Structure 1
Amino acid sequence: MQEIVIRRPDDWHLHLRDGAVLKGVLPETARHFARAIVMPNLVPPVVTAAQAGAYRDRILAALPEGATFEPLMTLYLTEGTEPADVAAAAASGLVKAVKLYPAGATTNSQSGVRDLDRVMPVLETMAEIGLPLCTHGEVTTPEVDIFDREAVFIDTVLDPLRRRLPSLRVVMEHITTEQGVAYAAEAGEGLAATITTHHLILNRNNILVGGIKPHYYCLPVAKREHHRLALRRAATSGNPRYFLGTDSAPHVDALKEHACGCAGCFTATNTMALLAHVFEEDGALDRLEGFASLHGPAFYGLPLNDGTLRLVKRDQPHAFPEKIFTEAGPITVFNPGFPVHWHVEA
């Protein structure tokens, strides 16, 4: 048996949804994570401080009795977002970041940004007050191949934006490519990148070979194997520019196993055990705490968590639940496709 003890981790990119799904999936995150950056792409989206406050109240009301978890709220950037509202939300301590969705890039992104010039007053205000911009880093122009969207976004949107507003703090969320890894490594201190659990495990063959696997389909979509290996090197490197953002994205099975299935992998239940497996494979268990517990708070300027998490490796593989059952329907838990011997013992 092996074991490690790390400071209680945070999730810097999480989807909780709302209503019955929120109630069903929130315990899966709160079991292991102290805090999470909560995505605002509800229907309708969370675009104002008042809406963020109301959503936070719903999250706290859904927590299991005795659970300790802090939702870190975000605003959904639209071309109608008011700079003053963003500044007030940040000053209140309620909102920790603003999320940029290029319109049409992913789930519930229809209200996102089509013309970056129209949101420059908001971005200028964010740069002045130090409020981070979390980016879904993909272009959506139809002539760009879906596997190239991230690299093109870096070249045509992100880098020009950072040159225009060098003081803007940016999180490249869920990077999936060698280009994303390299850009984050070479950028200044005002930029960081999150990496998901599933992108450390999946390449595009896992989705397509032997039949389409809807529960492996996510956006940004998993790429070629050399990109996955680049992500693993980054995550396990100890470089503080990279930290965990699971992008755990619950959809009920009826919406995943569908003629036009939704994008997202639900990893909240087993992320920490999977990460221990990955980091051990790469000889980097001593760097897991940095990736999951230290680097994110440092970038966001938040204190470290007080509690700890104990991970134990046992001879018997972990038997993860196949599904989480909610009043909205079952949600399939991410299956890595290999036995995992690490168990989380809080």
Structure 2
Amino acid sequence: MTSLAPSPAANLTASLTLRRPDDWHLHLRDGAMLAAVLPETARHFARAIIMPNLVPPVATGAEAAAYRDRILAALPEGMAFEPLMTLYLTETTDPADVRAAAASGLVKAVKLYPAGATTNSHGGVRDLDKVRAVLETMAEIALPLCVHGEVTTPEVDIFDREAVFIDTVLDPLRRATPGLRVVMEHVTTTQGVAYARAGGPDLAATITTHHLILNRNHLLVGGIRPHYYCLPVAKREEHRLALRAAATSGEGRFFLGTDSAPHPDRLKEHPCGCAGCFTATNTLSLLAHVFEEEGALDRLEAFASLNGPAFYRLPANEDRIVLERRAAPVTFPAKIAAGDEWVTVFDPGFPVHWAVAG
């Protein structure tokens, strides 16, 4: 249970105790970047669903096992963290390999990237008929499909890609594969929220920290802000408000997936800048701020710590963390070093008073 305990100066500080949270959508990359960003997640999160869009992608059980070994090797001594591995769905994915990887306990989901939808998605799926056998196997063994829900056809406006995907791809896919368990990742629209709510027990949706904070004005008004550019792109204010209402509702179908996506500054601040917001460092502080604004601090634990494990059929974490509301604004590093590169930490653009204790 979440407890909100006022301090003696209740109007200035408070504490919030939660089960240790999990991140159900995380990019760790590899090499020097992996070593740099992994501690930022492991400091606060017990587990995370690890995205497989490396170059080359993590597409087989053997590749997932090797990537998991690299992640654990990069984990600083004294930190506890469990990477929950996924496979990158391709048109040549072997259903038997998926079945074996899931049966071993290594792989917790398969990721569907429509080809060209986001970073390193060029090897994604173009023809769903070519992966029917994989999807049917997944339905049989109850292995979730994590979906990047955007169409990539050039005639569809970038702000409409999610809504069109739901109507033309996701709904037909689910109707054709009864029993398939699906996570709509990083939903960004009122249509996405509505579809998740109407989808029954085999459908869930993750919501990112940054989409609870940003609308498209933040990205575009007064100049282009490359560190607010992400895919799916931030939408109108009405959609941000719908996401806030969903995240703070307490409904079990919605849970945290940060989509924290580190890129070197030189590739973000670039004529063709990469998509992604790096939020691992300050996500819990920002979530507490948002939930406090919405009068829903008592529902933060469900969103961050309980709903995700329930959908993935895993136990909730027993460890606890404490968030403290401080009188003075909390400061976070503006950047972190990744080898000889720098990664900018997401800046919400407002003072934040919540911090993880310790």
Common fold: TM-score over 0.5: yes
Q: Which residue of 1 aligns with 2:14?
A: 2
Q: Which residue of 1 aligns with 2:260?
A: 248
Q: Measure the CA separation in 2 of the matches of 1:250 and 1:238.
A: 29
Distance 2:330 2:65 in 1: 37
The yes-or-no answer on 1:156 pairing with 2:168 is: yes
SS in 2 for 1:238: coil
Alignment correspondent of 2:57: 45
1:212-235 residue CA offsets vs partner (Å, 9 max, x unmatched): 000000000000000000000000
Instruction: State the alpha-carbon separation in 1 of the partners of residues 182 and 174 from structure 2.
Output: 8
CA–CA distance in 2 between the matches of 1:328 and 1:246?
Answer: 25
| Pairing 1:105–2:123 present | no
Q: Is it true that 1:298 corresponds to 2:310 in the alignment?
A: yes
Counterparts of 2:340 and 2:28, CA distance in 1: 13
2:156 aligns to what? 144
1:340 match: 352
Q: Which of 191, 200, 222 matches 1:210? A: 222
Offset at residue 140 of structure 1 (A) = 0.3
Distance of 1:4 and 1:124 partners within structure 2: 43
> Which stretches of structure 1, 4 residues or longer, exceed 6 Å deviation after superposition?
none
1:303-341 residue CA offsets vs partner (Å, 9 max, x unmatched): 111111100001110101000111040000000000000
Structure 2: how far apart are the matches of 1:39 and 1:150? 19
Quote the residue 2:298 is aligned against.
286
Show CA shifts across 1:92-115 (max 9, x none): 000000000000000000000001
Whole-Å Cα distance in 2 between the matches of residues 238 and 166 of structure 1? Answer: 27
Is 2:143 the partner of 1:131? yes
Q: Give the secondary structure class of the aligned counterpart of 1:141.
A: coil
* Distance in 2 separating the partners of 1:267 and 1:253: 14
1:35 to 47, 63, 79: 47
For 1:335 and 1:90, the matched residues in 2 are separated by: 37
CA deviation after TM superposition for structure 1 residue 57, in Å: 0.2
Q: Could you tell which deviates more after superposition, 267-276 or 303-312?
A: 303-312
Which structure 2 segments of 5+ residues have no match?
1-12
Q: Distance in 2 between matches of 1:166 and 1:322?
A: 46
Quick check: 1:171 aligned with 2:183?
A: yes
Residue 309 of structure 1 corresponds to: 321
* Alignment TM-score, normalising by the size of structure 1: 1.00
Provide the secondary structure at the position in 1 that maps to 2:249. Answer: coil
Alignment equivalent of 2:201, drawn from 189, 200, 204 = 189
The answer to whether residue 253 in structure 2 is matched with residue 238 in structure 1 is: no
Which one-letter code corresponds to 1:85 in the other structure? D
Give distance in 1, aligned partners of 2:39 and 2:118: 25
Q: TM-score, normalised by structure 2?
A: 0.96
CA RMSD of aligned residues (A): 0.5
CA distance in 1, matches of 2:199, 2:60: 30
Is this contact kept in 2: 1:132–1:171, CA < 8 A? yes
CA contact (8 A) 1:21 1:328 kept: no
- What SS does structure 2 have at the residue aligned with 1:45? coil
- Taking only the aligned residue pairs, the percentage that are identical comes to 78
Question: Which of 198, 205, 210 is residue 198 of structure 1 equivalent to?
Answer: 210
Query: Partner residue of 2:3?
Result: none
Cα separation, 1, equivalents of 2:177 and 2:55: 31
> Counterparts of 2:117 and 2:227 in 1: how far apart (Å)?
18
Work out the CA distance in 1 between the residues paired with 2:58 and 2:51: 9
- Between the aligned partners of 1:135 and 1:333, the Cα distance in structure 2 is 26
SS at match of 2:147: strand
Matching residue's letter, 2:125: V
Partner of 1:272: 284
Q: Per the alignment, in what secondary structure is the counterpart of residue 180 of structure 2?
A: coil
Q: Which amino acid aligns with 1:193?
A: A
Contact 1:151/1:180, CA 8 A, preserved across alignment: yes
Distance in 1 between residues matched to 2:179 and 2:273, nearest whole Å: 39
SS state at 1:73 partner: strand
Contact 1:248/1:267 (CA < 8 Å) preserved in 2?
Answer: yes
CA contact (8 A) 1:252 1:328 kept: no
- Which amino acid is the alignment partner of residue 204 of structure 1? R
Give the equivalent residue in structure 2 for 1:72: 84
Helix, strand or coil for the counterpart of 2:309? helix
